[in-house]
């Protein structure tokens, strides 16, 4: 039986992937959207989204994703749950391997996102969206006038902490060491800010309080003397970076030192017909609205490419 060849395959079902799907479907490309290991992307872990245009009262993250999904399907997008194992760009159409099956694609839009680094604590995972966050820009506003904690020692942590000073009454940076990976300028900015304090040689062992469905404090341990203590806080922000979901393209597409796909002219990769959009290539903004914007760009580029190929 001959393998089916799809005009456009979209990897990822977050804001970037679903926006690409809406545009590709409306262009009658009949795109196939593959959800991957985090259906809905980062927004599926978010509660109230207040900075996406068009929703003056805000909207729940999962609801926004579901709306986009229904919109894409209305115009003819197919959405399936599959995990990409590898891709072969050496021949056209491209071959995408999903373990037990292959899918052929004339164009590929990579919108596989970047996964936030978490501490891996059960209490932390249970409180994501209830005071545990990996995005100060998204959630800082909800903690106006409150004391919050930021975990990490690199530039990401300093950026999160400095941003949070706009809202929080106090920001404590919790780091496992006295040595910081942050650049000197970022570390100095944080150290000289009157709202920021540091808790070093300390790791988080538990987040309180899962039963109340809100963050009330942290159980922390001093790594030098082993002593435990409770640290009151209203929120815990993770500032330990993100991991772009792009390992399956290693050696075939250009990536930076942290694994983010490198694009030119917004969404073009070095392989004609392969586009990258959203957090898998955006380490700077990482917002739902910017991801949607690049998803639109990728779909329009795919449409243009197929037209030029006579498809």
Write the pLDDT tens digit of every residue in 144-160.
999 999 999 998 899 89
The whole-angstrom separation of Cα 185 and Cα 82 is: 43
pTM for the model stands at 0.82
Out of 15, 138, 277, 296, which one is annotated catalytic?
138
Tokens 């990728």 correspond to 298
Query: How many residues are given for the chain?
Result: 311
138 as an active site residue: the answer is: yes
The whole-angstrom separation of Cα 108 and Cα 32 is: 10
pLDDT at 38: 78
Out of 15, 135, 277, 296, which one is annotated catalytic?
135
* Angle value at C-alpha 68, between 62 and 72, nearest 5 degrees: 145
135 as an active site residue: the answer is: yes
The tens digit of pLDDT for each residue in 226-283 reads 999 999 999 999 999 889 999 999 999 999 999 999 999 999 999 999 999 999 999 8
pLDDT at 2: 52
Is pLDDT at 13 greater than 70 in this prediction?
Answer: yes
pLDDT at 203: 97
Residue 1 pLDDT grade (very low, low, confident, very high; cuts 50, 70, 90) = very low
| Cα distances (Å, whole numbers) of residue 83 to 22, 96, 98, 181, 298 | 21, 10, 6, 33, 21
Residue 44 pLDDT grade (very low, low, confident, very high; cuts 50, 70, 90) = confident
The tens digit of pLDDT for each residue in 188-239 reads 999 999 999 999 999 999 999 999 999 999 999 999 999 999 999 999 999 9
pLDDT cut 90: percent of the chain above it: 82
Out of 15, 139, 277, 296, which one is annotated catalytic?
139
pLDDT at 5: 93
* Angle value at C-alpha 79, between 73 and 81, nearest 5 degrees: 155
């Amino acid at each position: 039986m001959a393998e089916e060849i799809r005009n456009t395959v979209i990897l990822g079902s977050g804001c970037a992937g679903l926006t690409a799907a809406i545009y590709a479907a409306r262009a009658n490309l009949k795109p196939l959207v593959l959800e991957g290991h985090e259906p809905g992307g980062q927004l599926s872990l978010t509660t109230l989204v207040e900075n996406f245009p068009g929703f003056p009262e805000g909207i729940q993250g999962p609801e926004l994703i579901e709306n986009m999904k229904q919109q894409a399907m209305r115009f003819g997008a197919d959405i399936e749950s599959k995990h990409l194992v590898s891709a072969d760009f050496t021949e056209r159409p491209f071959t995408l391997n999903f373990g037990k099956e292959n899918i052929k694609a004339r164009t590929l839009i990579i919108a596989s996102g970047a996964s936030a680094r978490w501490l891996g604590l059960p209490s932390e995972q249970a409180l994501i969206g209830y005071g545990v966050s990996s995005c100060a820009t998204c959630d800082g506003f909800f903690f106006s006038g409150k004391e919050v904690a930021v975990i990490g020692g690199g530039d990401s942590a300093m950026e999160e902490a400095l941003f949070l000073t706009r809202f929080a009454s106090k920001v404590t940076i919790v780091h496992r060491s006295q040595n910081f990976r942050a650049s000197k300028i970022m570390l100095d900015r944080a150290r000289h800010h009157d709202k920021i304090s540091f808790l070093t040689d300390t790791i988080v062992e538990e987040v309180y309080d899962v039963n109340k469905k809100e963050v009330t404090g942290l159980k922390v341990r001093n790594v030098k003397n082993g002593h435990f203590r409770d640290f009151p806080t209203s929120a815990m922000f993770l500032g330990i970076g993100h991991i772009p979901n792009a390992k399956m393209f290693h050696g075939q597409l250009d990536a930076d030192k942290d694994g983010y796909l490198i694009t030119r002219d917004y969404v073009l990769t070095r392989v004609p017909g392969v586009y990258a959009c959203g957090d898998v290539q955006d380490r700077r903004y990482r917002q739902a609205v910017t991801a949607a914007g690049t998803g639109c760009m990728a779909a329009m580029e795919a449409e243009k490419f197929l037209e030029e190929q006579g498809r």
